[in-house]
A and B are shown apart, each in its own frame.
Chain A
Amino acid sequence: MAKKLLLEYDHVPGISTLDVYRRHGGYASLNKALKDLTPAQVLEEVKTSGLRGRGGAGFPTGMKWGFLARPEGVPRYLVCNADESEPGTFKDRYLMERIPHLLIEGMVLSSYALGANTSYIYIRGEYYYVARILERAIAEAYEAGLLGKNIFNSGFDHDCYVHVGAGAYICGEETALLESLEGKRGNPRIKPPFPAVAGLYGCPTVVNNVETIAAVVPIVRDGGAAYAGIGVGKSTGTKLISASGHINRPGVYEIELGVPVEEFIFSDLYCGGMRNGKKLKAVVAGGSSVPVLPADLILKTAAGEPRLMTYESLADGGFASGTMLGSGGFIVMDEDTSIVKNLWNFTRFYHHESCGQCSPCREGTGWMEKILHKILDGHGTLADVDLLWDIQSKIEGKTICPLGDAAAWPVASAIRHFRKEFEEYVTRPASIRDVKHYYRLHSMAEA
């Protein structure tokens, strides 16, 4: 059985309440840190642990914390990014609705390390009921003296607030999140300056994902070295994966980084294999914005090595034959899936969520969606496929924030790995009205 650090007690009844959470070792890490460790020591443990940002980019958390500017007389802030909006990702929601106190303990712990007396949890509007759960937990924590003035008689004061966004994907981008938190239009800022220097209200700010902050709790409890002992190479510790799609057991799984992808899909411990005995066609390994990979490339790298669930192994081969671990939104597609239709769905999402601030993303995402819609309608031409490729190449890397890249990568990878399918759509428009019907015919012809 794989070691669980975050979801060890997720099925204990009442774990969302303070009493049950404390009975299962809750707030012990905070007690330990405030009594025995200096903030610098907590930071050192996080650095030792090799924890990397769980929101998608995988940036080393200890390094991020180390970058935080510490000018005299200026408050510092910790902001938790709970604006989990990446299609295919739902791990943070699960964590917050099951064990809200784990996040709150992590918030206080991290703030202690950073010297922040105020922290915010920015949660997306669609998670309103989760915000209620968090607020209930925060009230309990205040009552028990785990938040507020002089926590555990250590002299450390901390206030934590939940802020509910209005439900925009773009507000998951850290600078747009800060703008939104300040009450402005959620447009990403131009970097530099980075939030570590000038973030919320112009003060030094650290923005971390829910899972990253929660992971600080076991790191302080067991020590950074023990956490670093789990996993492979630079991918240490455990990771929550939101598995969805055509599998037998969709859900949130905590894995030790380094589990082979094949095992993750087919083991009964995790996804439990393909639904209805279908063949695996493709996998989007880390949320909708990472490149989609066909079955042969997701199970084995281009060099023939088995692919592991780690930051490095999934990225092996660059974008030509690799992908990214991203936020851990693991979407599995079986042989009946139409990649073109799926891509249209993703692109429609990015079109809808583009903030409209910079031109390539504002205009390009809508254009790509319209072309894909045209192809799906059976009016596409071969030139449209090349045009799609050209548009995505002109969006990628030309925008202020990574939303442009996120919109471009799925298009690029779908055309790179499934160009044949696009060409089928274009050259045999009459047969694609009913996609499933088409695939049935297609596989009969092959047999």
Chain B
Amino acid sequence: MAKVTIDGVTAEVPDGTTILNAARMIGGDLVPPAMCYYTKLKTSGGYCRTCIVQVTKGSDKDPRPMPKPVASCRTTVMDGMEVKNITSPELLEARAGVVEFLLLNHPLDCPVCDQAGECDLQNLAYANGKAGTRYQFPRREFEKIDIGDKVQLHMTRCILCYRCVKVADQITDGRVHGVINRGDVSEISTYVANVIDNDFSGNVIDVCPVGALTDKTFRFKSRVWYTKPVDAHRHCTKCTGKVRLWYKGEDVLRVTGRKDHYGEVNDWICNECRFDKKKTADWTIEGPSHIDRGSVISANHYESLKALKATIERQKKALPHGNKVSLGHGALDPNNA
């Protein structure tokens, strides 16, 4: 076991744990954001640089601080290590810089992007970015390519996290896509013009932190915050069959893997479950999904009710004219709550 202190909070974690995972064990605000690291994918992480932290003390044995910020997802803790994340203003400034770099050539087409509402880059920019851009040049564009009838590729939105490449390497039989070209014109592409088609290829959609890889069967059908997530399962010979259904009214609009608090799926699901089983009759419903991130999806649903009640209670006390609160049409009536 190694003792590590992150932003003043000390924890004992197993040897070999990364700083990021140690922070996730502690939880709360001090967890660095991560755009390219994915627990289930080996050798992922280290590219996007959003999870950088300042190591102010290397270890008990060698207390020297590390000279540069390190990627917390790829740096293992040492016994006695001290790390600063949100308590270091310089680091937060550096992270804001990384966010600015990530957004530099991003098209900001959120209004027409299917990922909007569940996009890691939106959340990251909201939490760590600046309000405006200082970039005055045309944003980069790519020649559009078709990678098959299931997955839509929007290269302009890509932040080159390499997750989809690692998915293809590690959970599918053969990788037909990768990163071609170099520098700021490098792109995810198949070589030469090919379709990504195998039983688990749909998982690239789940791991994509932005709207670069989206579900063609869900394309433009609904904003994600108008759909209601429900956990369900079925007997599947290829995967565990544990999925999340996204309902709009009575219709299942799409099927995804079940994502945890950090946006990582619990189980990889197969393309049959993802693309072909879109009837309620195909599934055994378990119940509404737990959504606890600051996501706009939760604003419509279950989690928000508790918070709303608390807010109303506070409001009631604060109001001078007794406990009658007037709310707009359709809102929860506090007097019956």
Contact = CB atoms under 8 A, between A and B. Distances in A.
Interface in B26-82: 46-49, 52, 67-69, 71, 74
Contacts of A355: 182-183, 186
Given A353-B183, A398-B52, A359 B68 contact: no
A362 B98 contact: no
B69 A356 contact: no
A359 B49 contact: yes
Contact of A394 (B67, B68, B98, B136): B98
Interface stretch (B99-107, B148-156, B218-226, B329-337): B99-107
A294 B287 CA distance: 70
A387 B97 contact: no
A170 B48 CA distance: 18
Contacts of A363: 101-102, 104-105, 184
A251 interface: no
A168 interface: yes
Nearest to A191: B74
B140 to A, nearest CB: 8
Nearest to B67: A397
Contact of B46 (A390, A394, A400): A400
A360 to B, nearest CB: 5
Contacts of A354: 182-184
Interface of B is mostly: loop
B20 to A, nearest CB: 13
B252 interface: no
A176 B182 CA distance: 13
B81 to A, nearest CB: 15
B137 interface: yes
A356 B186 CA distance: 6
Interface residues of B, number: 32
Contacts, number: 86
A171 B105 CA distance: 26
Contacts of B100: 394
A364 B94 CA distance: 13
Contacts of A387: 134
A400 B75 CA distance: 12
A367 B47 CA distance: 19
Contact of A360 (B49, B178, B183, B185): B49
Contacts of A360: 49, 97-98, 101
A374 B134 CA distance: 14
A225 B135 CA distance: 56
Contacts of A190: 46, 71, 74
A432 interface: no
B49 A367 contact: no
A168 B182 contact: yes
Interface string B175-210: 000110111111000000000000000000000000
Given A190-B46, A394-B94, A362 B68 contact: no
A352 interface: yes
Given A354-B182, A362-B101, 12 more contacts: A351-B184, A353-B182, A355-B183, A356-B183, A356-B184, A356-B186, A363-B101, A366-B184, A394-B94, A397-B69, A398-B69, A400-B46
